[in-house]
Structures are given as structure tokens and as C-alpha cells.
Amino acid sequence: MQFLRKDAFRWEIPRTGAMRVPGIVYASEAMIETIREDQSPQQVANVATLPGIVKASIAMPDMHWGYGFPIGGVAAFDPDNGVISPGGVGYDINCGVRLLRSSLRVHDIGGRMKDLVTALFRNIPSGVGSARKDVKLSREEVRSVLDRGAAWAVKHGFGSEADLDHIEARGRIPDPDPDAVSDRAIERGRAQLGTLGSGNHFGEVQRVAEIFDETAASALHLFEGQITISLHSGSRGLGYQVCDDSLQLMLEASRRYRIDLPDRQLCCAPLGSPEAIRYLGAMAAAANFAFANRQMMTHWVRQTFEQVLGLTPREIGIQVVYDVCHNIAKFEMHTVDGRTRRLCVHRKGATRAFPPGHPETPEEYREVGQPVLIPGDMGRYSYVLVGTAGAFEETFGSTCHGAGRRMSRSAAARSARGRSIVRELEDRGIIVRSEGRATLLEEIPEAYKDVADVVDVVHGAGIARKVAKLIPLGVIKG
């Protein structure tokens, strides 16, 4: 596969064969070799063959192989002749990250990190078969969650209105269609609302280790030594079921609308078709479930800190910095070749990164840009960035989402066998509480690429701007 170097961070996969547009990969020279090793560049090229794709099939430096679309992929489609593809959103609809800030510094934790992590692990269920005893919803109530998103949670006592101003789409993707969500998806969601999930999902207590941009940090109310909390979680079984249900429909739709697919997993339907409308409605509903979920977990984080530290909410001061999706499709206005048009942007393992001045960038951040939250692996660090005009111009306002795996689960498990991962991390000052031992082995830090490298690429390419580095102090995992 041909990779044409455009500059230190941009590589083009030239338009060949059935590709309608070129592929653009954001990566450093050092990364290209690893990227070539899995089939993800071919996937970038495959996405470029889909009808109505606009400008380019884009991939971020954390790219790796996915179902149909690569993870770390961005693709925008024209509403009149383009398509919607569930593979371009992912199984975990609205998997995303929420960052909470506090008024606390490390010394305010006062040696109670172990208690704090243990309490978080207890109050925020994760892993197989977990559930909060006090969250029991009827099917109708679940549908209400799907319709209202984070606002549902606020209305039911989880957090406050002010939180909503600091969430992408204010915690509700418009035009959800709960009726398009199957009964089985509702059943799975009913059982799992209020749980963190497993795999690479986590909750993390962190400290701000480094500030790269004082002005931006100040606007985001971040300071060095501050205690922050991240939540990485999605739409749980409800979202997976919605995706699963949609694949069947989309396979048939691809046949019916005679869309040539280089890979069955790119199955799609023309935007505006009944199948597309149905999927988009179900996707929005599932996304809203995830927003509600992260809002509920925020409330339990606040409660836990109050319980363990014996401080008042005001003294603790936990506020939402921001909450971003990284598996989603959204209708947005973008300018392409001088013409502003509405496009359907797929982001799978990619984050929206809107610039300063954009109306959807929350008012208090409007001068610096939309916050972008990039989690790393559990042993190293995470980053906070802001969106830029460069991203808006080049990548439909998108950037990377995380570190990306570099080792298969079985290889990681082999590498971790016999080691006490919990103790290794504790020796480095990180307390871990985890439900599934197998998951923990598969999630060891070395299974992941170094997120610092990924972030340096997007920063260097000007599609996001580094604001702060966060290091983990305590981690909860399913």
C-alpha cells in the first residue's frame, strides 16, 4: 500500500481503484511501520470507496484495525448521495470520556487514596453481573432515558443543570427514536444502567502533572497538582445490541440499494432511506443512554468523595470539565472547497475537536476551543487538549481518541502471566481495583501505544492543542 509523505505528520493513501477520495493518515514516521502491520490502512482505503464520501477518508495516529472502518477513523458523507454505516460508529455507541475537576490537591486526599478507590469501586459497579441495587428502571423509564439523555439523569437527582453545559451536545443527541431500539436492547440497558463496563473502560482519580498552555488551562479551571477524575464508558449492552440489530438490516440495505462493499462490515444505507433514519434514531437513543450513564456515575463520584473525605460538596468542588463522544455519527455544518454544507460525520475512535469561536464550544471555553479528553493506558498518563481551527479545516473538526492497542489480548495475557499487575502499579503509586482478573492482564500498560506519541502528532499537525497532562493515582476497572 502506497503512503505518500506530505509532511512530518500527514500521509496520503492515493486514490486508486474504487476509491472515490484519497486517504489521509495522521502519524509520525516512526508510527507508519506499525500502522502498516495490521490491515488498518486497507480499511482506510475501503472506506474511501463508499458513496457520497467527502474530501478524504481520514485516520488518526491511534488508528488500528476495526470492523469495516478502522478505529481512529473519520469519514464525512453528503446527505443527498452519501451513506450511514454502523461500522463507522462502532459497537459501543457513544463510548466516550468525561473529565471532572475538583478544588482539591493531592495532599487533601491525605493518605486515603486506597479508601477512596475502594469506595469508588463499590459505588460505581463495573464488570460482569454488576448493578446498583438502587437503579431499577421499568422499560418505559429506560425509553425516557433514551429520549432525554443526561437531562433525564439530572431530573432524577444525578448532578445539576450546570453539568449539562459542559457535555458534548448537552448530553442529548437530537432526534432519538426509542421505538427503533429493540426490546432486547432495552432489556440489556435496563439491567446495566449505572454501570461502568469492562474491557478498556475505567474510572480514574488523577492529578494534573503538567500544564502546557496556561491560558487554556485557566479557562478550563485546571491547575498543576489538582485532583481530577476521568470516566471512560459507553452505552453498555444497549448500544452493543443496537449495533448488532442494525448490521442485519444494513447488510440487506446494501444489497437492496446496490452498494458495492469491499468488506461486508462496511454495510450501510443511503442517508434519507428508511433504514438510515431508523439506525440514526436508534444510535441517538443509545448515545443518550451513555450520556445519562456518565451523568449518574458523576453523581456517585461526588458522593464517594464526600463520604470518604468528610468534606462538603463546596469544599470538594467537583465540576464537569467536559464530556466527549468518540464513537458516533453526527450531522454538522462544515466548509469544503469554500462551500458550507451539512454533512454526516462518522467518528469511530475519534473525538470532536471544535475550534475557538464555534457556537457549540461552551461559552466559558469559547476563546480557547472545545476540550478534548484523551485517555492513555492505566499506568501512564492522559491528556487534555482543545480543538483548533486547523481541525475544523482539515478533519471535519476531529482528532484522536486515545492510545490504541499495540498488543493483542492474548499476547498481553501471556506477557502478564505470573505477574501481580496490582502490585506493580501500586509500586508506581497507582492503586487499582479491578473486577475481572483476565481483563486486568489484557489491559496492562505495555499493551497500548504511548498516548504521548499520539498526542504529539495531533498537536504537531495542528488538529488539537495540548493543555494538560494527567497522571493516574487510583483506577477502578470492570
Catalytic positions: 401
Distances (CA, A) of 47 to 33, 51, 106, 275: 21, 9, 46, 19
- Interface region with other proteins, contact rule CB under 8 A, candidates 152-160, 186-194, 354-362, 463-471: 186-194
> Taking Cα atoms as reference points, which of 294, 167, 293 lies closest to residue 230?
294
Tell me the closest approach of the beta carbon of residue 252 to other proteins, in angstroms: 10
Smallest gap from residue 69 Cβ to other proteins (A) = 12
> Among 241, 293, 327, 370, which residue sits at the site for other proteins (rule: CB under 8 A)?
241
- Minimum separation from the CB atom of position 91 to other proteins (A): 5
The span from the CA of 131 to the CA of 469, in Å, is 32
Q: Quick check: 243 binds other proteins (CB under 8 A)?
A: yes
Question: Which of 143, 190, 232, 347 touches other proteins (CB under 8 A)?
Answer: 190
Q: Is 355 in the site for other proteins (CB under 8 A)?
A: no
Angle formed by the axes of helices 236-256 and 183-192, nearest 10°: 160
Q: How far is the CB of 62 from other proteins (least distance, A)?
A: 11
Establish if 64 lies at the interface with other proteins (CB under 8 A). Answer: yes
Name the nearest CA neighbour of 59 among 46, 39, 37, 75: 75
Task: Report the DSSP pairing between strands 431-434 and 10-13.
Answer: unpaired
**Residue 99 in grid coordinates:** 473529565
CA–CA separation, 142 and 279 (whole Å): 18
* Residue with the three cell numbers 466516550: 96
Query: CA distances (Å), 440 to each of 199, 226, 477, in order?
Result: 8, 27, 8
Looking at residues 385 to 444 of the shown chain, list those that interact with other proteins (rule: CB under 8 A).
405-411, 435-439, 442
- Interacting residues of 341 by C-beta distance below 8 A, sequence separation 6+: 78, 333, 334, 335
Specify the residue, 79 or 199, whose C-beta has the smaller distance to other proteins: 199
Which member of 1, 4, 8, 128 binds other proteins (CB under 8 A)?
A: 128
Q: Backbone dihedral region of 114: left (phi > 0), alpha (psi from -120 to 50 degrees) or beta?
A: alpha
Question: Which range binds other proteins by CB under 8 A, 11-19, 41-49, 147-155, 235-243?
Answer: 235-243
Residue among 229, 136, 247, 244 at smallest CA distance from 191: 136
Residues of span 210-229 touching other proteins by CB under 8 A: none
Q: Which of 187, 315, 393, 453 binds other proteins (CB under 8 A)?
A: 187
Please report whether residue 198 would count as binding other proteins according to CB under 8 A: yes
Instruction: Identify the residue among 11, 69, 77, 91 touching other proteins (CB under 8 A).
Output: 91
Residues 17-46, one symbol each (x = binds other proteins by CB under 8 A, - = not), give ---------------------x--------
Shortest reach from residue 437's CB to other proteins, in Å: 7
**What is the DSSP secondary structure assignment for residue 446, as one 8-state letter?**
G
Residues 287-326 as x/- pattern, contact with other proteins by CB under 8 A = ----------------------------------------
Residue in 378, 13, 25 with CA at minimum distance from that of residue 202: 378
Smallest distance from the beta carbon of 413 to other proteins, in angstroms?
A: 9
Under the binding rule (CB under 8 A), the answer on residue 71 touching other proteins is: yes
Cβ contact 341:118 at 8 Å: no
Letters for 259-278 (x = contact with other proteins by CB under 8 A, - = none) are -----xx-------------
> Is the CB of residue 81 less than 8 Å from the CB of residue 278?
no
> Smallest gap, in angstroms, from Cβ of residue 265 to other proteins?
6
DSSP, collapsed to helix, strand or coil, labels residue 130 as coil
- Residues of this chain that interact with other proteins (CB under 8 A) are 38, 64-67, 71, 91-92, 127-129, 131, 184, 187-188, 190-192, 197-199, 237, 240-241, 243-244, 247, 264-265, 405-411, 435-439, 442, 478
